[in-house]
Amino acid sequence: MIDEIKQETETHNRKAIAALDDAFNKIRTGRANPAILDKISVDYYGTDTPIKQVANIIVEDGRTLSIVPWEKNMVPEVEKAIMKSDLGLNPATAGSNIRIVMPMLTEETRKEFIKVARGEAEKARVSIRNGRRDANSAVKELVKEKELSEDEGKRAEEDIQKLTDAAIAQVDKHLTEKEADLMKV
Protein backbone atom coordinates (compact mmCIF):
# COMPACT_ATOMS: atom_id res chain seq x y z
CA MET A 1 0.00 0.00 0.00
CA ILE A 2 2.78 2.42 0.91
CA ASP A 3 4.61 1.57 -2.31
CA GLU A 4 1.52 2.47 -4.32
CA ILE A 5 1.26 5.85 -2.59
CA LYS A 6 4.96 6.53 -3.23
CA GLN A 7 4.55 5.47 -6.87
CA GLU A 8 1.57 7.81 -7.31
CA THR A 9 3.58 10.65 -5.75
CA GLU A 10 6.51 10.01 -8.11
CA THR A 11 4.16 9.91 -11.10
CA HIS A 12 2.49 13.14 -9.98
CA ASN A 13 5.89 14.83 -9.57
CA ARG A 14 7.03 13.69 -13.04
CA LYS A 15 3.84 15.08 -14.56
CA ALA A 16 4.33 18.41 -12.77
CA ILE A 17 7.90 18.67 -14.09
CA ALA A 18 6.79 17.68 -17.61
CA ALA A 19 4.11 20.39 -17.49
CA LEU A 20 6.78 22.87 -16.37
CA ASP A 21 9.03 21.90 -19.27
CA ASP A 22 6.09 22.31 -21.64
CA ALA A 23 5.36 25.77 -20.22
CA PHE A 24 9.04 26.72 -20.50
CA ASN A 25 9.08 25.67 -24.18
CA LYS A 26 6.36 28.22 -24.86
CA ILE A 27 8.39 31.07 -23.38
CA ARG A 28 10.28 32.74 -26.19
CA THR A 29 14.07 32.92 -25.91
CA GLY A 30 14.98 34.59 -29.20
CA ARG A 31 15.62 31.23 -30.81
CA ALA A 32 13.10 29.56 -33.09
CA ASN A 33 11.05 26.87 -31.37
CA PRO A 34 7.83 25.43 -32.87
CA ALA A 35 6.32 25.08 -29.37
CA ILE A 36 5.93 28.86 -29.31
CA LEU A 37 3.03 28.49 -31.75
CA ASP A 38 1.24 25.75 -29.77
CA LYS A 39 -1.36 28.05 -28.24
CA ILE A 40 -2.32 29.62 -31.59
CA SER A 41 -5.55 28.36 -33.16
CA VAL A 42 -6.61 28.82 -36.78
CA ASP A 43 -10.16 29.05 -38.11
CA TYR A 44 -10.31 25.82 -40.13
CA TYR A 45 -13.66 25.70 -41.90
CA GLY A 46 -15.45 27.22 -38.91
CA THR A 47 -13.58 25.24 -36.23
CA ASP A 48 -10.76 26.59 -34.07
CA THR A 49 -7.90 24.18 -34.76
CA PRO A 50 -4.33 24.26 -33.38
CA ILE A 51 -1.89 25.57 -35.98
CA LYS A 52 0.19 22.38 -35.88
CA GLN A 53 -2.85 20.42 -37.12
CA VAL A 54 -3.21 22.50 -40.30
CA ALA A 55 0.43 23.19 -41.15
CA ASN A 56 3.95 21.83 -41.03
CA ILE A 57 6.20 23.92 -38.76
CA ILE A 58 9.95 23.72 -39.41
CA VAL A 59 12.93 25.44 -37.78
CA GLU A 60 14.91 26.82 -40.73
CA ASP A 61 17.78 28.24 -38.72
CA GLY A 62 18.39 29.51 -35.20
CA ARG A 63 15.94 32.40 -35.49
CA THR A 64 13.54 31.48 -38.32
CA LEU A 65 10.43 29.32 -38.34
CA SER A 66 8.91 28.16 -41.62
CA ILE A 67 5.22 27.29 -41.70
CA VAL A 68 3.76 25.43 -44.68
CA PRO A 69 -0.03 24.96 -44.47
CA TRP A 70 -1.26 21.68 -45.95
CA GLU A 71 -3.96 23.53 -47.90
CA LYS A 72 -3.02 26.61 -49.93
CA ASN A 73 -6.25 28.41 -48.97
CA MET A 74 -5.18 28.24 -45.29
CA VAL A 75 -2.15 30.52 -45.80
CA PRO A 76 -4.03 33.79 -45.07
CA GLU A 77 -5.86 32.19 -42.11
CA VAL A 78 -2.60 31.00 -40.54
CA GLU A 79 -0.95 34.36 -41.14
CA LYS A 80 -3.91 36.20 -39.58
CA ALA A 81 -3.90 33.91 -36.53
CA ILE A 82 -0.18 34.52 -35.94
CA MET A 83 -0.61 38.27 -36.23
CA LYS A 84 -3.58 38.25 -33.81
CA SER A 85 -1.64 36.29 -31.19
CA ASP A 86 0.02 38.08 -28.28
CA LEU A 87 3.46 36.78 -29.29
CA GLY A 88 4.53 39.90 -31.18
CA LEU A 89 5.54 37.97 -34.29
CA ASN A 90 5.39 39.30 -37.86
CA PRO A 91 4.91 36.58 -40.46
CA ALA A 92 6.18 37.10 -44.01
CA THR A 93 4.44 35.11 -46.75
CA ALA A 94 6.08 33.90 -49.95
CA GLY A 95 3.65 31.77 -51.94
CA SER A 96 2.47 28.98 -49.66
CA ASN A 97 5.38 29.37 -47.25
CA ILE A 98 5.09 31.59 -44.16
CA ARG A 99 8.34 32.64 -42.49
CA ILE A 100 8.66 34.08 -39.02
CA VAL A 101 11.96 35.63 -37.98
CA MET A 102 12.22 35.77 -34.19
CA PRO A 103 13.03 39.31 -33.11
CA MET A 104 15.93 39.82 -30.75
CA LEU A 105 14.80 40.19 -27.15
CA THR A 106 15.38 43.42 -25.27
CA GLU A 107 16.60 43.45 -21.68
CA GLU A 108 13.11 44.43 -20.55
CA THR A 109 11.36 41.57 -22.37
CA ARG A 110 13.94 39.11 -21.07
CA LYS A 111 13.16 40.18 -17.50
CA GLU A 112 9.41 39.85 -18.17
CA PHE A 113 9.93 36.33 -19.54
CA ILE A 114 11.99 35.45 -16.46
CA LYS A 115 9.07 36.59 -14.28
CA VAL A 116 6.75 34.35 -16.31
CA ALA A 117 9.20 31.44 -15.96
CA ARG A 118 9.39 31.95 -12.19
CA GLY A 119 5.59 31.96 -12.02
CA GLU A 120 5.44 28.68 -13.94
CA ALA A 121 8.07 27.17 -11.64
CA GLU A 122 6.05 28.23 -8.60
CA LYS A 123 2.95 26.56 -10.08
CA ALA A 124 4.97 23.36 -10.45
CA ARG A 125 6.21 23.59 -6.85
CA VAL A 126 2.64 24.09 -5.59
CA SER A 127 1.47 21.09 -7.61
CA ILE A 128 4.27 18.95 -6.16
CA ARG A 129 3.42 20.09 -2.61
CA ASN A 130 -0.24 19.28 -3.23
CA GLY A 131 0.83 15.78 -4.27
CA ARG A 132 2.78 15.47 -1.01
CA ARG A 133 -0.26 16.62 0.97
CA ASP A 134 -2.50 14.05 -0.74
CA ALA A 135 0.03 11.26 -0.19
CA ASN A 136 0.48 12.17 3.47
CA SER A 137 -3.30 12.22 3.91
CA ALA A 138 -3.51 8.73 2.42
CA VAL A 139 -0.77 7.50 4.78
CA LYS A 140 -2.48 9.07 7.81
CA GLU A 141 -5.75 7.43 6.79
CA LEU A 142 -4.01 4.03 6.68
CA VAL A 143 -2.52 4.63 10.16
CA LYS A 144 -5.94 5.71 11.45
CA GLU A 145 -7.53 2.53 10.08
CA LYS A 146 -4.76 0.50 11.75
CA GLU A 147 -3.50 -0.85 8.42
CA LEU A 148 -0.09 0.70 9.18
CA SER A 149 1.77 1.18 12.44
CA GLU A 150 2.72 4.69 13.60
CA ASP A 151 6.40 4.02 12.79
CA GLU A 152 5.61 2.78 9.28
CA GLY A 153 3.47 5.88 8.75
CA LYS A 154 6.30 8.17 9.87
CA ARG A 155 8.79 6.39 7.59
CA ALA A 156 6.39 6.66 4.67
CA GLU A 157 5.92 10.40 5.29
CA GLU A 158 9.70 10.84 5.42
CA ASP A 159 10.06 8.99 2.11
CA ILE A 160 7.32 11.13 0.55
CA GLN A 161 9.13 14.25 1.80
CA LYS A 162 12.35 13.03 0.15
CA LEU A 163 10.49 12.54 -3.14
CA THR A 164 9.04 16.03 -2.82
CA ASP A 165 12.42 17.60 -2.04
CA ALA A 166 14.00 15.88 -5.06
CA ALA A 167 11.21 17.05 -7.37
CA ILE A 168 11.40 20.65 -6.12
CA ALA A 169 15.19 20.56 -6.61
CA GLN A 170 14.55 19.47 -10.20
CA VAL A 171 12.10 22.36 -10.70
CA ASP A 172 14.71 24.79 -9.35
CA LYS A 173 17.35 23.33 -11.68
CA HIS A 174 15.05 23.68 -14.70
CA LEU A 175 14.25 27.27 -13.69
CA THR A 176 17.94 28.15 -13.35
CA GLU A 177 18.61 26.71 -16.81
CA LYS A 178 15.69 28.63 -18.33
CA GLU A 179 16.79 31.90 -16.70
CA ALA A 180 20.33 31.42 -18.04
CA ASP A 181 18.87 30.62 -21.48
CA LEU A 182 16.72 33.76 -21.42
CA MET A 183 19.61 36.01 -20.38
CA LYS A 184 21.89 34.77 -23.20
CA VAL A 185 22.31 37.44 -25.83
pLDDT in tens, 107-164: 888 888 889 899 999 999 999 999 999 999 999 998 898 888 889 889 999 999 999 9
Question: What structural domains does the chain harbor?
Answer: 2-26+106-183 (1.10.132.20), 34-101 (3.30.1360.40)
Instruction: State mean pLDDT over 168-179.
Output: 94
pTM above 0.85, yes or no: no
Cα 26 to Cα 35: distance, rounded to the nearest angstrom: 5
Q: Tell me: the pLDDT tens digits for 83-100? A: 888 777 788 888 888 888
